[in-house]
Amino acid sequence: LPKNLNEDIDLLETKIRAYKQKALSVEELKAFRVPLGIYEQRVSGLYMVRVRCPGGILSPFRLRAVAQIAKESGSGRLHVTTRQELQLHDIPLDKLIVTLRKLLEVDLCTKGGGGNTVRNITASWDSGISQEEAFDVTPHALELTSRLAALPNSWMLPRKFKIAFSNSPSDNAGAAVNDLGFIAEKRGDLR
């Protein structure tokens, strides 16, 4: 998790308060909330929150927690994205902060779920279990996520940046079509 995540949530709360008091424009609020993975939906006043799942990993405990948070905060609908993230839908503005804090309680975050940031780093869905894989790429996706989350500049890029790790030449993670892609390969004698 990014070290300043609590501060980001506190600042978003301040900005939402200012927006509701007409002291902050809709554009200024959007500029701050989108890099936190919060998008306005087509129905005015409702938002989608995108939860990062590095390497596509989410424990049963956390999945149950996200499902419960989705029920308490919004419509209860969850959507799995092509970037291996979860989206919670139909969350009112007044419930965004409590939603983010509940996610943080189970070590989940939305930061980098949108905007010009390093997006969720994906990995082959069958990494660690595939008979065809060169090796399990999951630890590499998780380590790179940890390192980039610690860098303040990874949240303020000129454009979104997508990274993927595939465990075999079949490239089922789409590494070849990401901004930065890694395809596992064994070379030489591995004794």
108 vs 154 pLDDT, higher one: 108
> According to the model, what pLDDT value does residue 151 have?
86
Give a three-class secondary structure readout of the chain: CCCCHHHHHHHHHHHHHHHHCCCCCHHHHHHHHHHHCEEECCCCCEEEEEECCHHHCCCHHHHHHHHHHHHHHCCCCEEECCCCCEEEEEEEHHHHHHHHHHHHHCCCCCCCCCCCCECCCEECCCCCCCCCCCCCCHHHHHHHHHHHHCCHHHHCCCCCECEEEECCCCCCCCHHHCCEEEECCCCCCCC
Range name among 62-66, 91-95, 133-137, 145-149 with the lowest pLDDT average: 145-149
Q: Quick check: 145 and 95 in contact, CB under 8 A?
A: no
Asked if pLDDT for residue 2 goes beyond 80, the answer is: no
Q: Identity (one letter) of the amino acid at 35? A: P
Q: Predicted confidence band at 149 (pLDDT cuts at 50, 70, 90)?
A: confident
Query: Buried (b) or exposed (e) across 37-53, using 16+ Cβ within 10 A?
Result: bbbbeeeeebbbbbbbb
pTM assigned to the model: 0.88
> According to the model, what pLDDT value does residue 184 have?
96
Asked if pLDDT for residue 77 goes beyond 80, the answer is: yes
Mean pLDDT for 158-178 is 95
Q: Could you give the CA distance from residue 167 to residue 108 in angstroms, rounded to a whole number?
A: 25
Mean pLDDT for 131-146 is 95
Asked if pLDDT for residue 190 goes beyond 70, the answer is: no
Mean pLDDT for 120-134 is 95
**What tens digit of pLDDT does each residue of 14-64 get?**
999 999 999 999 999 999 999 999 999 988 889 999 999 999 999 999 999
Asked if pLDDT for residue 162 goes beyond 90, the answer is: yes
Tell me the percentage of the chain whose pLDDT exceeds 90: 83
Q: 178 CB contacts (<8 Å, ≥6 apart)?
A: 122, 162, 163, 164
> According to the model, what pLDDT value does residue 191 have?
59
**What tens digit of pLDDT does each residue of 103-125 get?**
999 999 999 899 999 999 999 99
